[in-house]
Amino acid sequence: MNYNEFTIEIKKICNIDLSSYKEKQMKRRIESLMKRNGHDSYNTYIELLKNSKQHLNEFLNYITINVSEFFRNPAQWLVLEQEIIPELLKNKSKLKIWSSACSTGEEPYSLAMLLHKMMITNKIEIIASDIDKDAVEKAKQGIYTAKAIANVPGEMVRAYFIKEKDDYIIKDQIKKMVDFRILNLLEDKFPNDCDLILCRNVMIYFTEDTKEKLYKKFYNALSNGGIFFVGSTEQILMPHKYGFINRKSFFYQRIID
């Protein structure tokens, strides 16, 4: 069995289309995990994945790369707070926001804390989704280490976390602002009429073809004038091609019809 055949089997087992991810990088990761489990052929490894839920889970966790941070790239969050959100609120009384690859929750909770601090909690709805069930489960629990919250400003830590031994737990007032879901960007229907979509640090893993398809899906998921917020290495090369204009670095606006 070669890599392509392996991707077809994986699609059958768990509906994840590995061929949409950059091949070199994904292949390297999978082969290193295979070796770690004592397998050097896709044939025997796929049998292991078919027969062991535990190894399938390990495989899914490994390929999804859940690294995240609160307020990742702080300068961009300042633009969001000072320019993007106030501008969106000029035209709408309620905002629908979607964190579309939310991992273990740092990104949607950063949003919720920011909007709480800005005192606009009654004017927003936050949806947060990821393909990885375990990551979403962790996000719902909202328990973080001191290292994980290092980027969170002191006054926010005091206001929005409860310290329990070595852990920091997100308070319920912030937790209940976020509606967590499982959603595979490659297969599932997107929410619609979103005013702000965050899709950060996941596009880098996809092939160019897949990126194109996803930009179109994100365009359709946005409201007129809605904003698409991308990761710091994920600028869109020709935003007009997808119906976007570049408002600020890393912020694209759906062109108003």
Q: Name the site residues for ligand SAM (rule: CB under 6 A).
A: 64-69, 72, 101, 103, 106-107, 130-132, 135, 184-186, 200-202, 231
Q: How far is the CB of 76 from ligand SAM (least distance, A)?
A: 10
**Distance of alpha carbon 190 from alpha carbon 106, whole angstroms:** 21
Say which residues have a Cβ less than 8 Å from residue 6's Cβ, sequence separation at least 6. 18, 30, 42, 45, 46
Identity of the residue, 84 or 101, whose beta carbon is nearer to ligand SAM in the bound complex = 101
Q: How far is the CB of 199 from ligand SAM (least distance, A)?
A: 7
| Residue 153 token pair | 């400003």
User: Could you tell me if 84 and 183 are in contact, meaning their C-beta atoms sit under 8 angstroms apart?
Assistant: no
Identity of the residue, 57 or 184, whose beta carbon is nearer to ligand SAM in the bound complex = 184
Identity of the residue, 3 or 123, whose beta carbon is nearer to ligand SAM in the bound complex = 3
Q: How far is the CB of 224 from ligand SAM (least distance, A)?
A: 25
228 has which bridge partners? 197, 252
Identity of the residue, 39 or 108, whose beta carbon is nearer to ligand SAM in the bound complex = 108
Identity of the residue, 177 or 185, whose beta carbon is nearer to ligand SAM in the bound complex = 185
Identity of the residue, 91 or 192, whose beta carbon is nearer to ligand SAM in the bound complex = 192
CA-based R_g, the chain, Å: 19
Say which residues have a Cβ less than 8 Å from residue 126's Cβ, sequence separation at least 6. 97, 98, 99, 108, 111, 112, 115, 177, 178, 179
Q: How far is the CB of 251 from ligand SAM (least distance, A)?
A: 15
The CA–CA distances, whole Å, from 21 to 113, 152, 208 equal 32, 32, 9
H-run or E-run covering 140? helix 133-141
Q: How far is the CB of 93 from ligand SAM (least distance, A)?
A: 27
- The SS3 of residue 14 is helix
Q: How far is the CB of 215 from ligand SAM (least distance, A)?
A: 14
